[in-house]
Structure formats: structure tokens, C-alpha cells
Amino acid sequence: MKTPTYYPLIHNEWVKTYKSIKVKNPYSNDTVAKVYLADGDFLDMAIESAQKGFQVAQNLSGYERYEILTNLVRGLEKNEKDFIYTIIHENGKPVRFARNEVERAKLTFIWAAEEARRLNGEFLPLDVTPQTKGYFGIARRFPLGVVLGITPFNFPLNLVAHKVAPAIASGNSIILKPASQTPISAIKLGEILLKAGMPPGMVNILPATGKSAELLVKDGRIKKLSFTGSAQVGWYLKSICGKKKITLELGGNAGVIIEPDISYAEAIPRLVTGSFGFAGQTCISIQRIYVNQAIFNDFIQKFIDEMSANAFYGNPEHEKTMVGPMIDTDAAKRAEEWINEAVKKGAKLIAGGKREGNMLQPTVLTNTRQDMRAVCEEVFAPVIIVEAYKEFKDAVHMVNNSHYGLQAGVFTNDFEKIQYAYTHLDVGGVIVNDYPTFRIDPMPYGGAKDSGMGREGLKYAIEEMTQIKLLAIKGNL
């Protein structure tokens, strides 16, 4: 079978460039596709295209933007099976999670279409002093210009949607740089965009190296950077981006608190999925579980039983698989190193810990310390730590004892404790009676501390991609 070949999308044309990479299947190591990269003059070509695209995009009516996004949804529906297949093979995501990602991407574009029709402003009474009698104002949001979206490997379709959808809805143009490990879903989305009525230059898709991405980040013609990825890279890009507006959706090491009044039957299956689904390669995957000491031993036993029964490990094409491959062997080796380091420092390995290639067993550690990288850094692997606490306030402190702050979970029915957690947890979102891995795409999503700045979620991303402009009018002239 001939290996498919893909090219950058610039000004609604597929452009053959000079350098290419091979995209590998993380499970089988087979070559999935050959993808050409944009660099040098092609970067400049894309920026000029996006500038021209913006001149058209900013003048599209809300209905016209709605129509493009709605047509895009129809194209996703028509090609749903192909996208599921592509996600499985380019990033190793188990089929049940790949299916869910495609469904979420459709909904992300549907919600964006609705937002495109209600991007409005407000009337402002300005006659609030004797000197301003007769004045009134209108405040509206206007698109910024060219947006640069940089996306990670773990959600190659839906996190692309979270850049492209609000950009289209708000009348911006966007240059999208997908992850080098997983560019195919983004390129196939470009194929659908071409049929959806997108003006040339409104969306350019550039598979590119990190060095080329840096050149784009530094370019003053780009007015907004929206980056999803690691904290190290994100904060570096902020340091070189100049005067651009910037949204950073970065890493985490999500903590969850378990109180004695929970229902094990409801909580533990969700906790196992939130810990090990897609091999923990989600920035809000559970990494730290803090359990009230009164139920600690019972919880551990029930958690391990559920994990053994349902955290199936292996081929991502099998329906039951929960834990597929990590994105590459280096990532799996790094996680294995952190596990071994923790054990050498005194942690107890309760389950898992073994690696074969880029397959890492679901792993549970306890008796850990804060200085262990498996605790204090983002492991981004199927690895969790479980520790006991005495008082609820202690557990909140333990969750906060991290330089990350994306989302946290709290399992309890005690409203005072829920209120305390919501007030005192230093995170972007507190999820009650579900895992911190919970996300529905319209909600405001983002973090505190090293987990980033700004918010995604359609309405909130549109606010990040627009600026308020005031019209003040003196009446009665």
C-alpha cells in the first residue's frame, strides 16, 4: 500500500515544500504518512496569505461565519470514521477515546457556529456626570488580525478545533501549526475547510519544525498566539512573542481529594479512567489522589481491583483498550525513570511499573515525597500516586503544593467542604464528584501558576481573540 503524502495548506492551495517527515504509528511503528514541512519563504507566504485572509474574514457577517462552521461540521460527520482511524494511527489513542474526540470536535464547531451569531456588544449610558449629559456609548468586540495557533499531539483534532473554531467565529484569520507527531488530522480538517466556503487565507495549516514555529511567534504581523503544550515551551514562547496577546494552556499534575462520604461504585471507575485513559497523556489526567485516612486501605484495594478488571492495556484498535501506547519511546523511558527514581527514594510500588518499548503499564505509587518528580512534575503517563490525609484542609494544601494549577477534583457531598475547596484550591477549575479530567468544551478552561494564562472554551477563546472598541456619541447637538 502506497504511503499517503500531505502538504501545507497556504491560501487554499496545497503547497509542495522541500523538507518532509514520516509520521509513525506509536503502537506498530509503521509509517502512517509522509508530511511536507513549511519553512523559510513558505512561512512568509503563509503570513501574507493570512493578512489577506483577515481583510476578508473581518467583514464576513455572523451568518456567513456560521455557515462556514456549519458546513465544516457536516464534513466532519461525513468523514467521521476516517478521522477516528487517523487519530488511532497517528497518535495511538484507543478507539473509544478517538471516537469521543471526533464527537467533541463536531460539538466544538457547532458551539462556535452559535457564538458567531451572537458576537455582540453592549449599550453604555455615559451620562453619569453633569459634564457628560447627553452622551451614550456602544462597546463591541473586534477581531485582532492574524492568530497563530500551536497545538499538541494528544488531541490532534479537538485541540485544533479549539484554535480554528473561535478564530473563524470571531472573524480572525489563523495560521495553525499542528504537532509534528500528529499533523494528519489537522491537514484533513483543512481538506474539509476548503469545501466549507472558507475564504483563501482565513485558515493556513503549516506542519513545521519548532524552529520555524519560533520564527512565527516572533513575527510582528501576527497579533495573537494561542499555544497548547508543555509549560517549558509555553513560557519560553511568551518570552519571545513581543507585544502579541497570548493564551497559554499548559501542563498540570491534577490532584483529587476523596472524602469518606463518597459512593465507591460511582467514583472509582471514573478515577481509574481519569488516571490511565489514553496512557495518562492528558494535561488534566489524574496524577495525585489524596484519600481520607479513615478509608485509605479500603480505597486502595477497591481502586486496584477496578484497575485490574478494566484498565485494559494494549492495542488501541481494540474496543476494550484503555491504556494504549505512549507517543514515543522517549516519553515512556522518561516516565519509567521517574517511577524508578521514586522507588529508590522510598516510594512503594503497588502496581505496574514495567515498560516494553513505548508501552508502559498502569502504575500506582504510595509513600511518596514532594521532591519526587513523579509527584511534583507533570508525568504525562499512566502513573499516579495515592496518599492519605487526616483533615480536609490538609488535603487542599497537598493539592496546592504544586507549581501547576490546572484542574482539581473533590469527591464529597459536604457543601461546606465543597465551598472551602472552591475558595482555596489554586487552580483554574474545581470539579466536584467527578474526576479532574472532566472537560466539556464550552466551559472556561485554563489554569493558574505554571499551568498557563487566559482561557479556552468557545466564548472565552473568542474574548481572547478579540478586543473591545468603544464608540462614544454626544447627542442633542
| Model pLDDT, residue 142 | 97
Residue 382 has pLDDT above 80, yes or no: yes
Q: Are both 241 and 295 inside the same structural domain?
A: no
476 falls in which pLDDT band (50, 70, 90)?
low
Q: How far is CA 239 from CA 139, 151, 219, 451, in A?
A: 31, 18, 13, 16
Percent of the chain whose predicted confidence (pLDDT) is above 70: 99
Same domain, 236 and 265: no
| 227 plus 322 within the same structural domain | no
Q: Clarify whether residues 460 and 431 are in a common domain.
A: no
Are 180 and 216 in the same domain? yes
Joined grid coordinates for residue 423: 475558595
466: cell is: 478579540
Mark whether 281 and 313 lie in a shared domain.
yes
Number of domains in the chain: 2
| Average pLDDT score over residue span 56-60 | 97
Q: Return the pLDDT at 395.
A: 98
**Rounded average pLDDT over 229-233:** 96
Q: Decide if pLDDT at 419 tops 80.
A: yes
Question: Which residues make Cβ contacts (< 8 Å) with residue 141, sequence separation at least 6?
Answer: 119, 121, 170, 462, 463, 466, 467, 468, 469
Q: Of the residues 101, 249, 259, 463, which is catalytic?
A: 249
Closest CA to 241 of 223, 264, 265, 259: 223
For residue 322, what are the domain limits? 254-440
Taking residues 10-18, what's their average pLDDT?
97
Residue 119 confidence class, pLDDT cut points 50, 70, 90: confident
Q: Sorting pLDDT into bands at 50, 70 and 90, what band is 11?
A: very high
On whether both 376 and 458 belong to a single domain, the answer is no
Find cell 488501541 and name the residue: 316
Q: Is residue 445 part of a domain?
A: no
Q: Residues 413-418: what's their mean pLDDT?
A: 97
Mean per-residue pLDDT of the chain: 96
- Report helix, strand or coil for 146: strand
**pLDDT tier at 475 (50, 70, 90 boundaries)?**
confident
Q: Please check whether residue 30 is in contact with residue 3, taking contact to mean a CB–CB distance below 8 angstroms.
A: no
Is the Cα torsion angle 289, 293, 297, 303 positive or negative in sign? Answer: negative
Dump pLDDT digits (tens) for 129-147: 999 999 999 999 999 999 9
Q: Is the pLDDT of residue 206 over 70?
A: yes
Looking up residue 308, the CATH number of its domain turns out to be: 3.40.309.10
Question: Residue 465: what pLDDT?
Answer: 98
When pLDDT is averaged across residues 196-218 and rounded to a whole number, the result is: 97
- 282 - beta bridge partners? none
Q: What is the dihedral of CA 234, 235, 237, 243, to 10 degrees?
A: 120
Query: What's the pLDDT at 68?
Result: 98
Tens of pLDDT, residues 444-462: 999 999 999 999 999 999 9
Q: What is the pTM of this model?
A: 0.96
Is 71 found in the same domain as 149? yes
Phi then psi for residue 157, to 5 deg, are: -110, -55
Residues 184 and 294 in one domain: no
Is 476 part of any domain? no
CATH, residue 21: 3.40.605.10
- Relative to beta strand 404-405, strand 448-449 is antiparallel
- The answer to whether residue 447 is domain-embedded is no
Residues 179 and 314 in one domain: no
- Together in a domain, 9 and 50: yes
Does one domain contain both 229 and 371?
A: no
Residue 273 scores a pLDDT above 60: yes
Q: Would the pLDDT of 108 be above 70?
A: yes
Q: How confident is the model at residue 245 (pLDDT cuts 50, 70, 90)?
A: very high
Q: Helix (H, G, I), strand (E, B), or coil: what is residue 421?
A: helix
Q: For residue 241, indicate whether it is catalytic.
A: no
**Pick from 269, 200, 231: which is nearest to 56 by CA?**
200
Which among 259, 283, 378, 387 is annotated as catalytic? 283
Residue 430, pLDDT above cutoff 70: yes
Write out the DSSP string of 305-364: HHHHHH--BS-TTSTT--B---SSHHHHHHHHHHHHHHHHTT-EEEE---EETTEE--EE
